[in-house]
Homo-oligomer: A and B are copies of this chain.
Amino acid sequence: MLSNFIYTLDLLGTLVFAISGVYAAVEKKFDVVGALVLAFVTALGGGTLRDILIGETPVSWMKDMNYIYIILMALPISYFGNKMIHKLRKSLFLFDTIGIALFTVLGVQKTLALGLAPQIAVLMGVVSAVFGGVIRDVLSNKEPLIFRKEIYATACFIGALLYLVGHYFFNNQAVSMMCSMIVVIIIRYLAVSRQWTLQFNPKF
């Protein structure tokens, strides 16, 4: 039952990421192909890069067609559901944040399961969550958003660390997952509502 719940969250997160890819394409006036590529890349890019780096190929979404179907659905949903999407903005932001939190934790788990070091697992958790957006921005010929705005990646980093603490000290996967994800969600909410940023301006 827990795993069904996680799978549902995973698909919802994937859908919201894909919709954000379609929006990026519309903003750039790309055509249908551009919209589809950005939907795929935003939704699956982070996990794909993680799988390639840790050597888990064929990459994981190739084994479950639901990821492809849900991403394909992002196109008609964005096209016909503009008004609804606009109304549901807050819910979408919630699912986007849940998606980020979940992708972080799943990335950490998968890396640990391969026997790699916890430091690598933290890195791969963050990569899973944020690199879809980075690749989307690179393909749109823009500077990656996470290099400037919000403490998006930092929230994932803290969540990944917290998951490790739960994993090694309390040895309870479900509780570690929940705690870690809740912290990521809270940090992102606070960061957005209070406009936290991480400045880095050494004088040269």
Binds B, one of A27-35, A95-103, A168-176: A27-35
Return the CB mask of A58-70 against B: 1 if under 8 Å, else 0: 1100100100100
Return the CB mask of A112-138 against B: 1 if under 8 Å, else 0: 001011011001000000000010001
Return the CB mask of A129-164 against B: 1 if under 8 Å, else 0: 000001000111111101110011110000000000
Contact between A200 and B53 (Cβ–Cβ < 8 Å)? no
CB distance from A33 to the nearest CB of B (A): 4
Q: How many copies does the complex hold?
A: 3
Contact between B54 and A119 (Cβ–Cβ < 8 Å)? no
Q: Which chain B positions have C-beta within 8 A of A204?
A: 23, 26, 82, 86
**Quick one: which of B28, B79, B119, B141 contacts A202, CB cutoff 8 A?**
B79
Contact between B62 and A148 (Cβ–Cβ < 8 Å)? no
Considering only CB atoms and an 8 Å cut-off, how many residues of chain A contact the other chain?
A: 58
Q: Which chain B positions have C-beta within 8 A of A198?
A: 31-33
Q: Which chain B positions have C-beta within 8 A of A34?
A: 144, 146-148, 200
Q: Which chain B positions have C-beta within 8 A of A142?
A: 141
Contact between B55 and A57 (Cβ–Cβ < 8 Å)? yes
Residue A37 CB within 8 A of the other chain: yes
- Interface residues, chain A, with chain B CB atoms under 8 Å away: 23, 25-26, 28-35, 37-38, 48, 52-55, 57-59, 62, 65, 68, 75, 78-79, 82, 86, 114, 116-117, 119-120, 123, 134, 138-144, 146-148, 151-154, 197-204
Beyond A26-B201, A34-B146, A53-B58, list 16 extra A-B contacts (CB 8 Å): A23-B204, A30-B147, A30-B200, A31-B148, A31-B198, A32-B199, A33-B147, A34-B144, A35-B200, A37-B134, A52-B52, A54-B57, A58-B120, A65-B119, A79-B202, A139-B147
